[in-house]
Amino acid sequence: MDARLTSSSPQPVSKPSRWKHVKRQLKRNIGLYIIISPAVLYFLIWHYWPMYGVQIAFKDFMPGLGVWDSPWVGFEHFERLFDAYYFWTILKNTIGISLYGLLVGIPAPILLALLFNEIRVRKFRSFAQTISYAPHFISVVVAVGILFFFISPTNGVINSILVSFGREPLDFLAEPSNFWHLYVWSGVWQGVGWSSLIYSAAISGISPDLYEAAIWTAPANFGESGISRFQVLCPPL
């Protein structure tokens, strides 16, 4: 009797190890991990691995010794930067250009997307959008070359027009006050078309019923359509 009770008593069930559980999950979701692996590799290679070089700011970097074996100098480079004669000028220009770029670069693609939305001919709208975001795919060197083609003091397009009207040619690059405008607006020209795509996609999501309602309420036509567009543009902003 005791033998039967002993043999029929429940045996303790061994829990699977954590490693086996992980292997089971990997095998079950292998397809999802393969899909997400390119994005993980992208961030590891281009965002995390370069952080290894951040320590150069605290070292007297010597190419022959490499990053790891270069002598450690602490905050010496930062002290030299803060004690430099032109530090406050550099800081002012950096902050000023950044704010200038934000003030111009944020509204420009929104306005361009609104203008594209008003074009009713689909083929012409596609052509205009293609022309607008084409500069995004050219390098900065080529963009500067195009800019110099327009503002060259000798044979630039703008100076050629000024000379044809009897005006003296202007050397835009010789005036320090022109640098902010040339830098910001050339950057806006290169990226405004590409940045407007997300806003164009948001505007295209507006229900046509809202436009019809705006047409029937003629006094509030602009207000209704403007409010609708503002509501769908808020998430991208």
And the tokens for 19? 């490693």
Select the highest-mean-pLDDT range: 22-36, 52-66, 78-92, 223-237: 78-92
Distance CA 95, CA 103 (A): 12
Provide φ and ψ at 234, rounded to 5°: -65, -45
What is the model's pLDDT at position 229? 55
pLDDT digits (tens, 9 = 90+) for 41-63: 999 999 888 888 888 889 888 88
Residues with Cβ within 8 Å of 86's Cβ and at least 6 positions away in sequence, in order, are: none
pLDDT digits (tens, 9 = 90+) for 116-156: 888 888 889 889 888 988 899 988 899 888 888 888 888 88
pTM for this entry: 0.65
200, 128 contact by CB (below 8 A): no
User: Between residues 115 and 96, which one has the greater pLDDT?
Assistant: 96
The mean-pLDDT minimum among 78-87, 186-195, 202-211, 227-236 falls in: 227-236
Enter the DSSP assignment of 16. Answer: P
Residues with Cβ within 8 Å of 229's Cβ and at least 6 positions away in sequence, in order, are: 114, 117, 203, 206
pLDDT, mean over the chain: 81
Enter the DSSP assignment of 85. Answer: T
Provide φ and ψ at 59, rounded to 5°: -130, 155
What is the model's pLDDT at position 18? 77
